[in-house]
Chains A and B, each alone.
Chain A
C-alpha cells in the first residue's frame, strides 16, 4: 500500500498549499462570493465574461476601501470554479462553494448545470444566480435560484411585438443549435410568436454546435423568405457566421436573437453584414450607461485587455448580492433572511442613467420574486457598436 500513502502525502501537500493561499488580504475581513460556470472549452466566453465582471468589480471595491455591510467593511473575494460545462463538475463546484462557507454564488451558465446543483444549493443554504431559463428552477418549491438575466420567454414576445407593430413583420423563422438550451429557447420563441399571430414558416432547422459553415443549414430556411429570422440561444461565436451566411444567401429580412452578444465579435465576424442585427443587452449603449458603468468598462478593459459586451448584463448579479446584503446585514450567512429581503428590496441602479431601480421581479413568470431586474434593453448593431432600439421592463 505504499502507492496509496504516497498519493495521500501528495494530496495532503496540495491541500495544505491550497488552504495557505487565501490568507493574503490584510485589513478588512473578507466576504467571499462564488462563481461556478464554464471558463474553458467552446462555451468559455459565457463564463469568462461573468468571472471577469465579478473580479473587476471586486477589485474596484477593494481598491476604494471595501464594501460596508452593517457595521463591518468587507473586502470582496471572488472564488471561481470552472465546471467545464459538465453538470457533474458543476455539483462538485457547488460543494466546493459550500466548503468555503460561501452562501452566494453566481452561475452556472447552462440549463443542465443549474438543475444539477439544485440539491446541493438547497441543502447547503446557498443562493445561486444561474443564467439558465427553465422555469422549474425558479417556480416553488424551488427557492434558492435567482435568474440572473432576462429570459427568452420574456424578451422574445417584447421584441416580436415591437417588430410586428413598427416594422410590420408577418412571418418568422427559427434556427437553433441541437442542444438543450437553444432548443428550449426556440420552443419558447415559437409559442410566443404564435401567440402574437405571427406565421412560423420554418422552425425545425438545427445545427451541430461545432458547425463552421452554416450555408447548408440556412439555405432551406432562407428560401422560406421569413420577415424575421430568429437565432434562438445562439452563442456569441456562432452569431456572426450565421448572420454572414444568411446575408450572403440573399436574405433581406430582419435577424434577431434573445441572448447577449458582443459588438466586436460581430464586427470582426460579419462586418457590415451584421448591421441591423437585433439582440438583448444590459445598459450598454452610450445614452443609457451611467458614469459608473463607463468606469467599470474602463477598468475591465485595463485589467483584461478587451471588454466583452456580454458583461453589460453580467455585471449585475454581484451588485444585487452586495446591495441586498447591505439592505439586510443579517443575510450575510443566512439565506432565509436574504429571501425575506428580496420581496421588498429596492436600490438605485448604479449602472444606468436616470432613476432606474434594482429590485427582484419574476412574479408573472415564476409566481415568486426569483429574478433580478435587469433593464430589458433591445439593441441594434450598427457599424461596430450597439444602438438602443427600445427599453422595456419585466415584472
Chain B
C-alpha cells in the first residue's frame, strides 16, 4: 500500500472536523435539530451501502443488503430484549451473524453473475422478510417493540459509552455513534481496497476466469467479500433498530435493498467514498424537497434522471476527471459483453 500523502491527511482531518464538530455546531446554531436524525440515517445507510459497493467491487450487483440489515436488526433486538445483553455487544454479534448467513447463502449463489445474481439477492430480501413474518422468535407480524435504549458500555470501570437513557440529547449521541461507525467503516474499506485483497478483487471484476487461471482463489475471495459486505449491512440494521426502538419485518425491505444499490451508482462505482456521497444526496435530497408537497417525488426523480444523464459514472466522476481514463481501461467484469455494446 502506498503511503498516505499530506494532502490526503489534511483532507481526512478536515472531513473529521466537519462531521464531528462543524456539523453539530451548525445544527445548534441554526436550530435545525431534525437534521441530526437525517444525518444519522445517512451515516448508517452509507455503512450498509458501503457493503453493497464492496460486492460491486468483485463484479456483483447486490440487491440483497436489506436482507442482511433486517437480520442484523433482529439479532440485536432479540439479544437485547430476550437475553438482556448489552446493545453494544450485540452490535458486532449482529454483524457476525449476518456475515455467517452470508457465507452459507453465498456458497451456492455467488457462482451466479450479472443480473442473475442481482435477481437472486432481490428474492433473498423477500425471503428474509417472509421468514421474519413466519418465525416465532422474531414475534412474527407483531414485530419487536419497546426495545430499551442502549445501556452503558464500560471496561475496567471506565465508562466508554454512557447509558443512553440517562442522556439529555440522545439524538446527538446517536449521531456521534453513527458517524464514528461510518468513519471506521470507510477507513477499513479504503485500507481493504488498496490492499492485496483489493487488487485481487479488481482483477476479478475484470475477468474472473483469467484471475482464476493465474492462481487467484476466486471462491474464497468472493465469500470473504460477501461476508464483509453483509457484516456492514448487519451492523447498520442493528443500529437502526436501536434508534427506532422497534423492529418489524418491513423495517428493511426490497425498496431499501434497491436504494442501497442506487446510492452506490449515484456516488460512483469507481470510488471508495462513492456510497457515502450517494447516500447523502439521495436520502438528504428527499428530505430537503419535503416542502414541495405532492411534487416532491416528481422533482426528486427528475433530478435523479438528470444526474445520471449527465454524470453516468457517478457524482465523484465530476471531481476526479483524471481517474476516468485509468478506469475505462479497467472496466467491468462483463468485458466480452462490454465489447459488444461499444
Contacts and interface: CB of A to CB of B under 8 A. Distances in A.
Tell me what chain B mostly uses at the interface: helix, strand, loop, or mixed: helix
A96 B140 CA distance: 30
Interface in B18-54: 18, 32-34, 36-38, 41
A119 B256 contact: no
Contacts of B294: 39
B130 A178 contact: yes
Interface in B146-177: 146, 170
B245 A180 contact: no
A118 B18 CA distance: 31
A300 B238 CA distance: 43
A11 B288 contact: yes
- The size class of the interface chain B forms with chain A is 35 or more
Contact of A88 (B41, B133, B284): B41
A187 B141 contact: yes
B245 A92 contact: no
B287 A92 contact: yes
B207 interface: no
Contact of A116 (B244, B288, B318): B244
Contact of B18 (A4, A39, A86): A4
A180 B255 contact: no
Contacts of A115: 143, 145, 244-246, 248
B256 A15 contact: no
B49 to A, nearest CB: 14
B243 interface: yes
A181 B248 CA distance: 10
B312 interface: no
B297 interface: yes
B251 interface: yes
Given A40-B297, A81-B290, A96 B41 contact: no
B133 A178 contact: yes
A17 B299 CA distance: 15
Contact of A112 (B33, B37, B251): B251
Interface of A: 1-4, 7, 11, 14-15, 17-18, 21, 39-40, 80-82, 84-89, 91-92, 95-96, 98-99, 110-112, 115-116, 118-120, 123, 134, 136, 178-181, 183-184, 187
Interface of B: 11, 14-15, 18, 32-34, 36-38, 41, 130, 133, 140-143, 145-146, 170, 240, 243-246, 248-251, 255-256, 277, 280-281, 284, 286-291, 293-294, 296-297, 318-319
